[in-house]
Structure 1
Amino acid sequence: MTRDIDVIIVGAGFAGLIAARELSSRGIEVLVVEGRDRLGGRTWVDDRLGTRLEMGGTWVHWLSPHVWSEITRYGASIVETGTGIAREMTWLVDGEPRSAPAEEAAPLLDEAMNRLWGESRTYFPYPYADPATYEVPEAVDARSIGDVIDEMHLDEDAYALAEGMMSAMFNAPIHSVGVTQGLRWTAAAGHDWATMFEVSSLYKLVDGTRGLVDAIAADVRGDIRLNVPVAAVERNGQGFAVETRSGERLTARSVILTVPRNAVSAIDIRPALDPGKRQLLDEGCAALGTKVWMKVRGDHTGWSAYADGSLGLSWCGYYGPADGDSMLVGFGPSTELLDVTDLEQVRAVMARWRPELEILECTGHDWVADEFSRQTYLVQRPGQHRGLRALQRPEDGLFLVGSDYASGLGGYISGAIESAYENVPRVMRHLGAERTR
């Protein structure tokens, strides 16, 4: 058994590293343990398809204030990806492809999206306020995105575009996604749908998320241990014991869990978390979808495609050039519908939009099967927003921290950093520590 330290942080993604940096800079002794063999959590840059690809979280923006502060702090740079170029849009209606220039089709999508998210200011006038102050009626929180879109009575083209975009953006079937989630995202983007799309899918870090992760980790004044999966966290009158799968027992005065919601159940927490937390964690979040990278023959600048949740991919679009060819990125609502590493499966799906496309290579990572994730990013189910405050409430020095627990941009890299910032003073109060030493 190790000697007591102040705080054990489980997880070395953005939330865990920011919490470790901020606490250790104030004289708090921290130990970060990470189950994977790398830093970054659900952000991961890997060399595939002849280039460096973001296998997980990718896009950042200056309207995401918490990640932007880190970009500024470390002098990182961003670059626009090809997802912002719109020339041609293809969508499926009753399984048949239709295409139109973006200037003709995009207004159909914009009209539906503006109607869908038009009430963000009504329910979230202050996007980063304490969730306890949000006056979201239960009847609103209980609705899904699909419910709202169904009630719009859109024509078949607009419906197909809206369903494809929303199923992809939320990485889940639209009837399993709480509408409150999108209202929060839109509010944080200035209450504007087009800006929300830009925040979510336009700019990336020039050096990749790994560059920013490494810079933050270098400023942590404490140990970061990789390949240390946690099996159990036990609370007692003296503090906490953290048991690793290898049988090591670590003790601390406080524990920060930066584990995604769907993966918390893999850790034996004793005594059990309060019922409010357990209910939400047992329900799990809705984002059980896919992300696939494809290298495609030829130049397909500005092309994007949309489909309903049954195809395997709900949306795909141009990302950038690739040695004279094109890199596409796509998102689907369920890992059960598509193996993103199976080239023939991916080719079959893409052929539904454009049979002539020559898919040269494809790749991706199954975040749902990943034992340290069990989901992609945070997407709440209908009715779950009202329980967010319960998840954020610490229990005797045990804190749930990360993008899945953020008040504002939950589901984003910025949300992970936001949650860490919010919880650092709470941890210090628990420890009885002064702000600086």
Structure 2
Amino acid sequence: MGHEQAAEPERQAPRVRRRRVFYIPGYDPIHPRRYRELYRKESSAQAAISGYDIALRPKQAGSGPYGWHVEAEIEGAPVSAEVEVLVWSDIVRGSMSNSILATYLQLAQTAWIYIASGALGRLMRLRKGPVIAALYPVGMLLLQLVVAVVLIWAAAFLAGTVAEDLGLTGLPGAVLRLLGAALGAGAALALMLWVKARDGKFFVYYLMHDYAYSARYRGANPSELEARLSEFADLIAEALREDVDEVLVVGHSSGAHLGVSVLADLIRAGRVPADGPALGFLTLGQVVPMVSFLPRAHRLRADLQYLCTREELAWVDVSAPGDGCAFALCDPVAVSGVAPGVKRWPLVLSAAFTQTLSPARWAAMRWRFFRLHFQYLCAFDRPGDYDYFRITAGPQTLADRYRGRAASNSRIEAPVSKYTSVAP
């Protein structure tokens, strides 16, 4: 992607004046207001850089998901957008184990599933970055365990040395050694609790819970998540019956594969009216292979295979090799081994962080992996033809904005998954 802002298309496409945007977050336990504040801050920064006007105000009172209203003038046209967050943070919080012991049990189960199924080895053929990100909490938790064992052993050893120096034998010496081991165990537990209390900085427990959630059911969706996806589908179907010009669904990180299933369900059920608003699907920093490569991900693989052929929507997938937490430029349909003979979507594009961020910003953020994973929702100081705020609040539909745009030459399409079945 170059550094120039996207030019207006030659043909006169119908202008978008009203848009509904549904944002599906990734595995995130935090209240959706964080996304409103992120949008407010970053849209203002991007508007100052790119020379357009954008402003937020609270969502109109009423039922429905948490959201906000956007008024913008972009590319010379006024646009009104309602942005809503499709919340599943309560499910995320419920899946997060509160105890350290339970987290170690999750570690053992998750590692076994990914290794025994062969998924881990095949994921490494795609991108090393997200696999390293997946192994990071495993390594950190194992390191803590090793330190804990060393602390217990060292304390017991020192207590034994003291017992020998004091001439204590038999029961008194054994009791002293036991007390030393207990002190060591207390120190080890204090260390683990200290790390856990600062997980907002280390992301060890958070990431472990994230990968464990998909692995627990070997790629299948738990019943509570299926119920929530059905609710999401109802909300989007209702918007598709409104007097708006575009309904745009945005799936970030794990939210990308949730969006795939929601939209596949909508289209299968005939709930996308032929004379309704344009339907766009934007996936950002997707981690689809972490789920689709698992043995029981039949539902997701079937949805990928179905959605990639449909003309009812436009699907654009944006990622960047600089994002070490995403399967950057990996076509989620193709690498999952379910691409049919005729395939329309997704259009795989690069956000090209090394080009769209100035050298100074790139140098400052290069090793902030979690921050870079959210860069798609943020301002770029050297914007190319990907601009989250033009897409969500600009006057072109997703399809028109990228009509005629070639896919990234660096995309990966090799079918890598061992499991390609779309039915149990």
Q: Same fold (TM over 0.5)?
A: no
TM-score by length of 1: 0.25
Instruction: Indicate the structure with greater strand content.
Output: 1
Q: Considering only CA atoms, is the larger Rg found in Structure 1 or Structure 2?
A: 2
TM-score for the superposition, normalised by structure 2: 0.26
